[in-house]
Structure 1
Amino acid sequence: MTNTLFFERLKGQLKAKLPFVAYRKPNESGINALLQKTHQLCYTRNFTESGFVFSPFNDIHKTVLIPLDDSEMISFSEFPTGTSKLESTLSLNKQSHVKRRYMALVTKAIQNIKKGKLKKVVLSRSESLELTDSNPLTIFKKLLRAYPKGFVYCWYHPEVGLWLGATPETLIRIKDRQLSVMALAGTQAYKGTVNVIWEQKEKEEQQYVTNFILDQLKASVERVAVSEAETSKSGNLLHLKSIITGTINSNGVNMTQLIEALHPTPAVCGVPKHEAKQFILENENYDREFYTGFLGELNFQTIGMIQSNTKNKENRAFTTQKADTQLFVNLRCMQLKGSRAILYVGGGITKWSNPEHEWDETVAKSMVIKGVL
C-alpha cells in the first residue's frame, strides 16, 4: 500500500467515525493500522483476546480493545523521518497560577516523603493549547518525522476520543514466554551529547523502578537479567534506562496477572505503589484518563520457522505461530478536543526534589509535543 492510500484510508475512518489506530514501533520504518469495521466499543475481558489495547491509568478493567477479528489491518513499508529541531519560545512563567499550583503539590509530596509515608510519587498536570492546525493526521505525520526511536501513534474511537503520542517507554514485551520490561526514569534536557552526569535524585528514581519490576516479577519469571543503566535520548530529553529480561514460568501465570503486577510502575506512579496511587488520585485534582496508561499489540500472531534435521540429513522447515504482545506506557501524549490539544506531563518526586526544578522538567517534557504543533 502506498503512503497516500494509507492516509486516505485513515481519513475515511475519521469521516465515518469508525475506530482505528495507526502506529509505528520504535526504530522501525513501516507503519501499521487497524481499521475497526463497526462502531462498537469493546473492552478486554482477561487479556486473552487479540487486538490493539488502550488502557487508562486508573483501571485496567476498562481497557479498550480494537479487536483483530473485527478489523482490517493495513500497512506501508516506510515513512520518511527527519531530524527536526524542536524549539519553543514559551516562557516558563506564562501560566504562573498553574506553576504555583504544581509547585505546591510537589512541596506537599516532598513533605509526605520526609514523613516516611512515600519514597517516590509521580505527579502530573494537564495543559490546554489552541491549535492552528488541528488535523490529527497532519500531527501524526509530524510526530512520525520527529521521533523515529519512539512508539508513535494516533488512536481514535468516537465514544472515547482521539489521542496521539510519541512514547519512549515499553511496559512489557512477551513472545513465546520470553519477557522484557523497560525501567525508565530520570530526566534532563538534551544539549548535544548523551555523555552526561546524572545526579543522585535521577539515579535513585531509576533504581526504584528497576527494584519494583524485579520484585513484581520474581514469582513468575526465571533466569532474570538486568542490563546496566544507560542514557537514552527521546526527542529533546535524556533518560536513564535499563532492560530486564527473563523467561515466564510454566506455572499458569496469565497476562492479566503480569499487567496488574507491573502497571502502574514507579515511573508513572510511585513507591509504595498503593500509597503513591492514592496520593495521586486525592491530590492531582484532574483525571489522567489514558495518560500514563498503556497501549499496544495484544496477542498478535507471528510466524516462525523451525529447522529440523532428519536421519537422512534432509533439512525440513516447520512453521509455528507464536503470540506476540508489546505494550507501551502512554507518555508524551495529547488528546485532541476540537481545535484544542490537551497535553499531559509529569515527573518523579523524591526527597531530593526541588519544586522549581520539577516544574521546569514538566515544561521540558511538554516541548516534546509542542515542538510539532
Structure 2
Amino acid sequence: MTRFLGHIRAQWTSSNQHFKVNRSTLQTAIVNLNHVPTKASWDLAVTQALRMIKGSQTELVKVVLARCSRYITDTCIDPLELLACLKVEGQNAYQFCIQPSDAPAFVGNSQLFHRKYLNISSEALAGTRARGKTRADDFQIGQELLLSIKEDTEFTIVRDSIKKKLEMICDEVVVNPSKALRKLPRVQHLSAQLAARLRNEDDEFDILNALHPSPAVCGLPTEEARQFIRDYEIFDRGMYAGPVGWFGGAESEFAVGIRSALLGKGYSTLVYAGAGIVEGTNPSFEWDELDLKASQVVSVQRHDCYY
C-alpha cells in the first residue's frame, strides 16, 4: 500500500497507481558515505544500554538506538521514483512520501495502524535477517530467526505492548498469527497481525496517542528508553520515528517514519535505521542489521525498477 502526503502535490496516491521510473536516475553511484554515530560510538552506546538493562537501578528492558547515514551520489534521486521502487521492494507493505513545499522529501516503508470505521489493524514487527540465496538457505535463515531467544525477546516486547495499548481503547483484540515470518525481497522479520474494535467513535484520536511511540521505535518502559536516547544518541532524529498519516472520518491511516530516507534537492540522501537493544544483544550484529535495513532504501537507488 502506497500513500503520498504533500503541500505541492497535495493528494494521496492509491496503491494501484503506476509510477514511471526513470532508468538513469536510479542507477546512481555512491560517491561518499559516512555514519552518525560511527561504529566505535555505536558500540559504546549499545554497551551502556546493555549495562543498564542488566542493572538494577533502572527498569529499562529495551531501547531502540538509531543511525543516520549520509550518502552522496553522482545523481539526484527523485522522491517519487524512489517511492515507486520501494513499492516493488516491499510488496504488501506500506510506503509513504511526505514533501512540504520547498523542503526535503521524507520517504519510508512501514506501518503503524489502519482504521476503517471502528475496526483497527496493526502489525508488530521486530527481528531482521537477510533473505537466503537459495530456497534451502532462506528456510534455514528463517528458522534461525524464529528460534532465536534474543529476537523472540525483542519481538514479544513489541507485540505485547501493542496489544496492551489497544486493549486500553478497544474490545476484541485478536492476535493472529502470534508470531510468523514476514518475508520481503531483501529481508525477513518476525511479525504478528493485530485486529481490534474501538469501543467508541470518539476514541479515534486516542489511537495515535496510545500506539506511538511503540517499543519498535523507542523502547520499554517508554520514558526510560526516551531518556536513554536523549542521553546517548548523538544526532537529532528529526522526522525519523515520527508518525506520518491522516485522520479522515470513516477511515484513518498512519505509518511510522522508520526504514526511511530524507532526500534534499542536491546529491545528498540521509538514510535512517534503528535496532532494538535487549538483553543478549551483540553490538556488531546490530550494526550489521542497520546495514541490512538501510539496504532496502539504498539498493533500490542503484537498480532498474519497473512495474
Is TM more than 0.5 here? yes
Give the structure with the higher percent helix: 2
8 Å contact from structure 1 (residues 147, 235) kept in 2: yes
Q: After the TM superposition, which parts of structure 1 deviate over 3 Å for at least 4 consecutive aligned residues? A: 32-37, 71-78, 93-97
CA change 1:220–1:336 in 2 (3 A) is same
Match of 2:113 in 1: 172
Q: 1:140 aligns with which of 70, 73, 83?
A: 83
State whether structure 2 residue 131 is matched by structure 1 residue 190.
Answer: yes
State whether structure 2 residue 292 is matched by structure 1 residue 364.
Answer: yes
Letter aligned with residue 198 of structure 2: I
State whether structure 2 residue 183 is matched by structure 1 residue 233.
Answer: yes
**Displacement of 1:352:** 0.8
Q: TM-score, normalised by structure 2?
A: 0.81
Unaligned runs of 5+ in 1: 1-23, 26-31, 38-65, 83-88, 302-322
Identity of paired residues, percent? 27
d(CA) in 2 for partners of 1:364 and 1:161?
A: 24
Q: 2:218 aligns with which of 269, 278, 290?
A: 269
d(CA) in 2 for partners of 1:140 and 1:348?
A: 26
Match of 1:115 in 2: 55
Q: 2:253 aligns with which of 310, 321, 326?
A: 326
Q: TM-score, normalised by structure 1?
A: 0.68
**Displacement of 1:78:** 4.5
8 Å contact from structure 1 (residues 81, 148) kept in 2: no
Match of 1:130 in 2: 72
Match of 1:55 in 2: none
8 Å contact from structure 1 (residues 81, 145) kept in 2: no
Structure showing greater relative contact order (alpha-carbon pairs closer than 8 Å, 6 or more residues apart) = 2
8 Å contact from structure 2 (residues 106, 261) kept in 1: yes
CA change 1:271–1:73 in 2 (3 A) is closer
Encode CA deviations 1:118-152: one digit per residue, 9 max, x unaligned. Answer: 10001001010012221314333333333323222
Match of 2:275 in 1: 347
Q: 1:100 aligns with which of 15, 36, 40?
A: 40
State whether structure 2 residue 199 is matched by structure 1 residue 249.
Answer: yes
State whether structure 2 residue 224 is matched by structure 1 residue 279.
Answer: no
**Displacement of 1:33:** 5.1
**Displacement of 1:159:** 5.6
8 Å contact from structure 1 (residues 126, 344) kept in 2: yes
Letter aligned with residue 143 of structure 2: V
Task: Find the structure with the greater CA-based Rg.
Answer: 1
> What SS does structure 1 have at the residue aligned with 2:284?
helix
Unaligned runs of 5+ in 2: 22-28, 302-307
8 Å contact from structure 1 (residues 81, 144) kept in 2: no
8 Å contact from structure 2 (residues 90, 185) kept in 1: yes
Q: Output the aligned Cα RMSD.
A: 2.9
Give the structure with the higher percent strand: 1
